[in-house]
Amino acid sequence: MSSPCRSHWATWVRGLALAGLAAACRRETRQFDNWPPTASAAAVVREVDLQPGPPTRHVDLVGPYDGNAYGTGEGKRLYNQMNCSGCHFQGGGGIGPPLMDSQWIYGSQPENIFQTIVEGRPNGMPSFRGKLGTDQVWQLVAYVRSMSGLLPKDVAPGRNDDMQVRSQEQSTTKAQPGRSTLPPSAEHP
C-alpha cells in the first residue's frame, strides 16, 4: 500500500538529486577548447519570423553559458575590456540603455541579446560581427542577463576587485522582463 507512494518519493528525490548534480556540473565547467568555433552568428539567430511555408514553432535558444559561472565571469571581463561600460556604464545606462532594469527594447532572451551584440542596433549600438568569437558573445549574453538577475544567484558574478560602483550581480533580485516601447528611430524602415 505504501510502496507506490515510496517509489514516487524515491523518484522525486532521485530526480532532484540528479538535477542538482547536473546544475552543479554545468555551473562549474571550464570549457576552453571549443574548436572549431561554433557556427557564425547568422546561422544561430534568425532575423525575422517570416519564412516560406507554414510558420514553425518558435524555440527559445538557451544561452550556452547561462548556467555557467565561469562563462558568465568571462562575460563580465569582456564587458569591461570590450568597453561595453563606455555606453551602458556598469549596467545603469547612460549613453546606452540600462541593462540592470526590467525593460528590454529588443527582448531579454539569450538569442535576442546575442543578436543585439552581433548585429548592432540603431541609435549607436555597434555591430560586433567578426569582432568577437561566438563563444565570447555568448559569454557576454550570459553576463548581460545576470545584470538584471535573470541568471541563478550561484551563477551570477560576485563583487569585483575595484571600487564598488554597483551591487554585485549575485545580489540583484530577478526583474520580470518587460518590453519597453521601441524608440521611433529604432523601428524597421
Partner 1 sequence: MTSMLEATDRDRSGRTAASEAEVVMALEQTWRPEPGLWGWLRSVDHKSVATRYLVTAFVFFLLAGLEAATMRLQLARPENRLLGPDAYNQFFTMHGTTMMFLFAVPVMQAAGLYLVPLMIGARNVAFPKLNAYGYWVYLFGGVFLYLMFFLNTGPDAGWFSYVPLAGPEYSPGKRVDVWAQAITFTEIAALTASVELIVTIFKMRAPGMTLNRMPLFVWAMLVQSFMVLFAMPWVATASQFLAMDRLVATHFFNQAEGGDPLLWQHLFWFFGHPEVYIIFIPALGFVSSIVTTFTRRPVFGYPAMVLSLVGTAFLGFGLWVHHMFATGLPQLGESFFTAASMMIAIPSGVQIFCWIATIWEGRPRFGVPFLWAIGFVVVFIIGGFTGVMIASVPFDQQVHDTYFIVAHFHYVLIGGAVFPLFGAFHYWFPKVTGRMLSERLGRWQFWLFFVGVNLTFFPMHQLGFEGMPRRVYTYLPETGWGSLNLLATVGAVIMAVSVVLFLVNLARSLRAPHLAGDNPWGGETLEWATTSPPRPYNFPLVPVVDGRMPLWQHPDGLPALAGLRTDVRDVLMTTVLDAEPDSRHRHPPPTIWPFCAAIATTITFITLIFTPWGLVIGFPFLLVAFIGWAWPRGQDHQEQRRVEAEAAVEVAG
Partner 2 sequence: MIPLLQASQFPGRHSVLEPAGAQAALIKDGLWDPMFVTASVTFALVVAALLWALLRRRVGGETLEDPARQRRLGLTVSLATAVTTIVLFVFLVVDSTVGRATTATPGHSALQIRVTGHQWWWEVQYRDSLAQHWVTTANEIHIPVGRPVVVELRSTDVIHSFWPPNLSAKRDLIPGHENSLWLEADSSGEYRGQCAEYCGHQHAKMAFLVVAEPSDSFAGWLAGQRDTAATPADSLTRRGQEVFLGSACPMCHAVAGTPAGSRVGPDLTHLGSRRTLAAGTLPNTRGNLAGWIVNPQAIKPGAKMPPNALSPDDLQALLAYLETLR
- Single out the residue of 43, 163, 187, 188 in contact with partner 1 (rule: CB under 8 A): 163
Residue-by-residue DSSP string for 60-76: PPPPTTTT-HHHHHHHH
User: What is the C-alpha to C-alpha distance for residues 163 and 146, in angstroms, rounded to an integer?
Assistant: 20
- Among positions 2, 32, 51, 60, the unique one binding partner 2 when judged by CB under 8 A: 32
- With a CB cutoff of 8 Å and minimum separation 6, the contacts of 183 are 105, 122, 123
Q: Is 157 in the site for partner 1 (CB under 8 A)?
A: yes
Residue 159 main-chain phi, psi, to 5 deg: -70, 165
> Using CB under 8 A, which residues numbered 123 to 162 contact partner 2?
130-133, 135-136, 161
Contacting range for partner 1; rule: CB under 8 A; set: 3-11, 47-55, 94-102, 154-162: 154-162
Q: Rounded to the nearest whole angstrom, what is the least distance from the CB of residue 35 to partner 2 in the complex?
A: 5
Interface segment toward partner 1; rule CB under 8 A; list 37-45, 49-57, 86-94, 148-156:
148-156
Does 73 bind partner 1 (CB under 8 A)? Our answer is yes
Residue 113: CB atoms within 10 Å: 25
Among 2, 4, 6, 36, binds partner 2 (CB under 8 A): 36
Own/partner contacts of 12-19, CB < 8 Å, gap of 24 or more, are none
